[in-house]
Amino acid sequence: MNGHVKSMHFQQFMEPAATLLSLLLVMAVDSTRTVSASRNPGCNSLQQTLKLTRLVEKESVDLIKTYKVSQGEMSELFCKVSVNDVPDSNISGLEPSEWIVSIFTHLQAFFPHFKRVYEQQTDLQSPTSPLLAELTTVSTRSRSLAAFISSFYQGLFPNLPVPEPAGGPTTLPPPKNVFQQKVYGCVVLKTYKEFLSNVSQKLRTLKPKVCRRRMQINTLFFF
């Protein structure tokens, strides 16, 4: 929205001089084509983060499918039960700096749960089960995503302090029976998938702001 407003502002400002700059316009069209968004480090980092977020989200969806298949009967029921002590899928904070830190913190909070689910499923699944492999993959990707978020945040807000992993111990649920373990695992994965979906949405909202600078220049020359 801000970008759009800026665009209109520049349009009004540059309208009287449009005729005079017509020659430059033609030349600029060609030059601006080569100025891609990738040349913008923040935009590039955001896009990479977005891509990785979608990737992890997709893999988490696949993981849930695999999880349901591997848990046997009543797998759908497992995922409908609510469980406490699982990180919230919602992202807190209004400003980008705030919710980016929130994303980073949430990601860090999910790692112990992934580990717990992996341990529990290790007892329930065969070592060659694709569920374990996918759990490992999602967990690893999530760590990379956290690094991406951190890097993006540092690039976007270089003067703000670097987000740190949660200092305190993550609260994990106490040992439970197999049913409760299955329910717990499914809730963790489901919540994580929802969280990633929220992350994607949040990051997409940031994309126009981060990657609009060059676009604004282009708009400047077009109007």
Q: Which is nearer to another protein, 12 or 144 (CB)?
A: 144
Q: What is the CA radius of gyration of the chain?
A: 23
Q: Which is nearer to another protein, 32 or 151 (CB)?
A: 151
The residues, ordered by sequence, that sit 6+ positions from 71 with a Cβ below 8 Å of its Cβ are 78, 124, 182, 185, 186
Residue from 147, 166, 215, 217 in contact with another protein (CB under 8 A): 147
Residue from 31, 92, 126, 144 in contact with another protein (CB under 8 A): 144
Q: Pick the stretch among 69-77, 86-94, 144-152, 188-196 that binds another protein (CB under 8 A).
A: 144-152
> How is residue 40 annotated by DSSP?
S
Burial of 78 (0-12, 13-18, 19+ CB in 10 A): buried
Burial of 126 (0-12, 13-18, 19+ CB in 10 A): exposed
Q: Which is nearer to another protein, 22 or 128 (CB)?
A: 128
Closest approach, Cβ 145 to another protein, in A, equals 9
CA of 184: how far to CAs of 68, 103, 114, 120, 168, in Å?
Answer: 12, 22, 11, 10, 22
Concatenated DSSP letters for 104-127?
A: HHHHHHHHHHHHHHHHHHHHHS-T
Closest approach, Cβ 5 to another protein, in A, equals 30
Site for another protein in 93-122 (CB under 8 A): none
11 binds another protein (CB under 8 A): no
Site string for another protein, 34-63 (x = CB under 8 A): --------------x--xx-xx-xxx----
Task: Give contact residues for another protein (rule: CB under 8 A).
Answer: 48, 51-52, 54-55, 57-59, 136-137, 140-141, 144, 147-148, 151
